[in-house]
């Protein structure tokens, strides 16, 4: 193992991101220093937040520089080490990139620290079949909530209800989101996990009960740079709502507790997940762009080794 491959940001997108914005490079493995380990990566995760790091200017993390590596989470095997620390694993390796990793913790934090739903309350989750939304809804069901998802297409909605156990799932592609969400939430909405923004958030705002809580995890509707106004903002005042944006990496103090709970739920079969796996680093940009359009089904991963 003397060389490795990486994807760099070749150019910044204007509007929608394209394959031309990325470039695959082969570079030499640097010499190992004290405290470092050399990891042979087996899986790469691609996630929606990466799109916002491709833009120049102010975001919640510094943008990726041109010709710099598009960094992403990986799991793999330590093949050389100048560091005495070890890890043991009790769940499948790639789950550490999903349900027992950053996406799972994102779901756990938003639900337990922002939405704080009581048994019997109604919870709505957008991007419900995705790596984060699927965990939010299952955790909310375990708390005794009524849970309605929002997802794109009949196949995903069927999975959300039949496999994940949500009470209902609304297909936003069916063209009558407001009416369908109203039917799925007869008692109104007490807490929302928002991954999308724009018209999807507006549909939830129109159904909020007094003192509702909205965890703002992602606004994927606006990641290509177009403005996505919120039209039903007055609900924040009228219904005395609390909305909070968050990034789970800023709340590391909750990770040991959260990851422990998530790993136990996976181990005993109470937390299901699904993966879409692309093969080879060279196909990571295509997998990532597909993710932004909802082509994946569950956590999108890239298998780096054969």
Q: Is 188 helix (H, G, I), strand (E, B) or coil?
A: coil
Q: In the complex, what is the shortest distance from the CB of residue 231 to its own copies, in angstroms, rounded to a whole number?
A: 5
| CB-nearer residue toward its own copies: 10 or 206 | 206
In Å, how far are 77, 176, 281 from 107, measured between CA atoms?
27, 27, 27
| CB-nearer residue toward its own copies: 165 or 222 | 222
Measured between alpha carbons, how far is 298 from 130 in angstroms, rounded to an integer? Answer: 5
| CB-nearer residue toward its own copies: 234 or 257 | 234
Q: In the complex, what is the shortest distance from the CB of residue 227 to its own copies, in angstroms, rounded to a whole number?
A: 5
Q: Which residues contact 220 (CB under 8 A, 6 or more apart)?
A: 48, 51, 127, 195, 196, 197, 292
Q: In the complex, what is the shortest distance from the CB of residue 143 to its own copies, in angstroms, rounded to a whole number?
A: 23
- Are 271 and 92 in contact by the 8 Å Cβ rule? The answer is no
| CB-nearer residue toward its own copies: 235 or 266 | 235
Tokens of 148: 């309605």
Closest CA to 281 of 26, 16, 13: 26
Q: In the complex, what is the shortest distance from the CB of residue 242 to its own copies, in angstroms, rounded to a whole number?
A: 5
DSSP assignment letter at 57: S
Q: In the complex, what is the shortest distance from the CB of residue 40 to its own copies, in angstroms, rounded to a whole number?
A: 35
| CB-nearer residue toward its own copies: 233 or 255 | 233
Parallel, antiparallel, or unpaired: how do β-strands 189-194 and 208-216 relate? parallel
Q: Tell me which residues touch its own copies (CB under 8 A).
A: 52, 58-60, 197, 210, 216-219, 222, 227-231, 233-234, 236-247, 250
């Amino acid at each position: 193992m003397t060389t490795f491959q990486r994807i760099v940001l070749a150019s910044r997108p204007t509007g929608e991101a394209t394959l031309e914005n990325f470039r695959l490079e082969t570079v030499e493995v640097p010499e190992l220093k004290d405290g470092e380990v050399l990891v042979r990566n087996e899986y790469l995760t691609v996630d929606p937040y990466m799109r916002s790091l491709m833009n120049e200017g102010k975001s919640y993390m510094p943008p990726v520089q041109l010709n710099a590596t598009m960094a992403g989470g990986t799991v793999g095997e330590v093949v050389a080490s100048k560091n005495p620390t070890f890890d043991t694993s009790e769940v499948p390796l790639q789950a550490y990139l999903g349900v027992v990793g950053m996406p799972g913790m994102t779901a756990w934090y938003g639900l337990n620290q922002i939405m704080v739903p009581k048994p019997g309350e109604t919870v709505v989750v957008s991007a419900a079949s995705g790596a984060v939304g699927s965990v939010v809804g299952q955790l909310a069901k375990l708390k005794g909530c009524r849970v309605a998802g929002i997802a794109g297409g009949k196949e995903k909605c069927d999975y959300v209800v039949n496999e994940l156990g949500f009470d209902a799932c609304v297909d936003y592609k069916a063209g009558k989101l407001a009416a369908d969400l109203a039917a799925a939430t007869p008692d109104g909405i007490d807490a929302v996990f928002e991954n999308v923004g724009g018209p999807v958030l507006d549909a939830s705002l129109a159904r909020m009960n007094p003192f509702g809580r909205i965890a703002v995890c992602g606004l994927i509707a606006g990641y290509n740079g177009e403005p996505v106004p919120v039209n039903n903002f007055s609900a924040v005042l009228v219904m005395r709502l609390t909305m909070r944006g968050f990034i789970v990496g800023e709340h590391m103090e909750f990770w040991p507790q959260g990851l422990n709970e998530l790993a136990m739920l996976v181990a005993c079969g109470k937390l299901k997940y699904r993966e879409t796996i692309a093969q080879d680093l060279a196909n990571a940009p295509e997998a990532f762009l597909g993710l932004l359009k909802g082509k994946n089904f569950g956590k999108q991963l890239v298998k780096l080794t054969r």
